[in-house]
Structure 1
């Protein structure tokens, strides 16, 4: 499978232990750094990776949660795996209700914690979850993140990171991306 000539499905060396559905942000593709580093980690841990590529401008008047759920559900229906997890960035985290209904493990990169529906769905999910966000991100709610951590979610909150998990400093942004990659790697090591 390809999207614009780019591959969208990646198989690990050896037998797959499950499938990771990767849902991007509104303007943050699966090939962008946070999701691409996650892809590499997932492959290292034996997961097949299925990227979802979308043009969010085609959403029109459709509810964003329903639009994302529809895309994730369509990808999920194509899979025949015992273990499915969701890895999502920003807009893609609107799939939290879908994941919660199915008890899917999830990695939420810059989840929209200011959106009650997203926060409530993450709280309702019995699966293992990792939340990653920056304290300079206007869509990250510190109090909600704390409550989710108290409820059992793993949380990485980076003090100086914005919604893209970056800063105006290129070196510091690269350091943050390494920190996120380590958190994802550590979380996957326990899966």
Structure 2
């Protein structure tokens, strides 16, 4: 499968342990740094990776974001024949949290929209293992809710100076943040 000439699916070198569905952000494609790091880590850990590519500007005026994201993730999941499915979402893609919660799917949420009650509640309701990654310089990250989710069993990486892209104005610091995130993803996948 390809999207605009880019591949959207990768198979691990050995037998697959399951499928990871990558749901991007509104303006953060699956090839952007955090999701690319996740793709590589997932392959390393034996997951087949299926990226979802979308243009969120094509949503109709009456199409609310949460059901729109959910339909995309649900359709990708329905196309898979795997016992273990893991969801990776970035920002807009974290609106798939309700779907993941209903099925108890393991998940990695980059910059989840914790200020949206439906996202925080869905993450709290999910019986699957979850990693949440966000920054204190992100207006869409709520540190109090992140603490509550950590106390409830979610793994949480909170970066003090990171914005919604998990970056800063400093290129070296941004690379350091991405390394920190990659290590957290690696540790999470080692236990899934």
TM-score, scaled relative to structure 1:
1.00
Compare 19-28 and 60-69 and name the one that shifted more: 60-69
Instruction: Tell me, in whole angstroms, the C-alpha distance in 1 between the residues paired with 2:6 and 2:184.
Output: 27
Partner of 1:38 in structure 2? 38
**Using the alignment, how far apart are the partners of 1:83 and 1:12 within structure 2?**
14
Q: Which residue does the alignment assign to 2:110?
A: 109
Q: Are 2:74 and 1:73 equivalent residues in the alignment?
A: yes
Identify the residue that residue 57 of structure 1 maps to in structure 2. 57
Looking at structure 2, the residues matched to 44 and 150 of structure 1 have their Cα atoms a distance apart, in angstroms, of: 29
Q: What RMSD over aligned residues (CA atoms) do the two structures have, in Å? A: 0.3
Structure 1, unpaired ranges of 5+: none
2:28 maps to which residue? 28
C-alpha distance after superposition, 1:126-162 (max 9, x if no partner): 0000000000000000000000000000000000000
- CA distance in 1: counterparts of 2:187 and 2:106, whole angstroms: 14
Question: What residue ranges of structure 2 are gaps of 5+ in the alignment?
Answer: none
Query: 1:86-106 CA deviation, whole Å, 9 max, x = no partner?
Result: 000000000000000000000
Q: SS where residue 15 of structure 2 aligns?
A: coil
Name the SS for the 2:114 alignment partner: coil
Aligned residues: 191
**Cα offset, 1:85, TM superposition:** 0.5
TM-score, normalised on structure 2?
0.99
1:33-68 per-position Cα deviation (integer Å, ceiling 9, x unaligned): 000000000000000000000000011220100000
* Alignment of 1:100 onto 2:113: no
Q: CA separation in 1, counterparts of 2:190 and 2:107?
A: 14
Structure 2 counterparts to residues 1-191 of structure 1, below 5 A: 1-61=1-61, 62-191=63-192
Q: Which 4+ residue blocks in structure 1 deviate beyond 3 angstroms?
A: none
